[in-house]
Amino acid sequence: MIELNEDTFLVYALKNYNNPECSGIDDFEEDTKRFKYLKRLFNRYESSGVLKDRLIINHLIVLYNVFDKSATSMLFYKIDKEHWSILKTFLVFLNRMPMEQIVTGGVKIEETDIPLNFEIINLLRKI
């Protein structure tokens, strides 16, 4: 397993990218921008309390469709640690949160060390 950092992220993303509809580098770049969009949506939730839950779910589904299981370590690398609780809650909802240790950005993350966000859980139960 490759250790994700600024130098290896793009290589790791390219290596694990699997989109049969991809017609060029533009499609790849569009899909990798979803990490930035998620980060922005999580920041908006933290600052204003506005949660675009369905948009977050759509971005996550697309990421898992094109990066498969490698999307998990990429997400934990790209999303700030302060938002891991939000991320984990959505990944559990989508049944994509691994139960084993995640290593990303030189950090070993135990699944049990990240709490769930109960406010988001209550919102997701209504979907």
Cβ burial, residue 89 (10 Å; 0-12/13-18/19+): buried
Residue 3 resides in a domain: no
pTM value?
0.91
13 located within any domain: yes
pLDDT digits (tens, 9 = 90+) for 15-31: 999 988 877 899 999 99
Q: Which domain holds residue 41?
A: 9-124
- DSSP letter string, 58-102: HHHHHHHHHHTTHHHHHHHHHS-GGGHHHHHHHHHHTT---SS-E
* Count of domains observed in the chain: 1
Q: What is the pLDDT of residues 68-111, one digit of tens each?
A: 999 998 999 999 999 999 999 999 999 998 877 676 767 777 88
- 105 within domain boundaries: yes
Whether 83 is covered by a domain: the verdict is: yes
Domain membership flag for residue 26: yes
> Residue 106 CB: number of other CB atoms within 10 A?
9
2: in domain: no
In a domain, 100, yes or no: yes
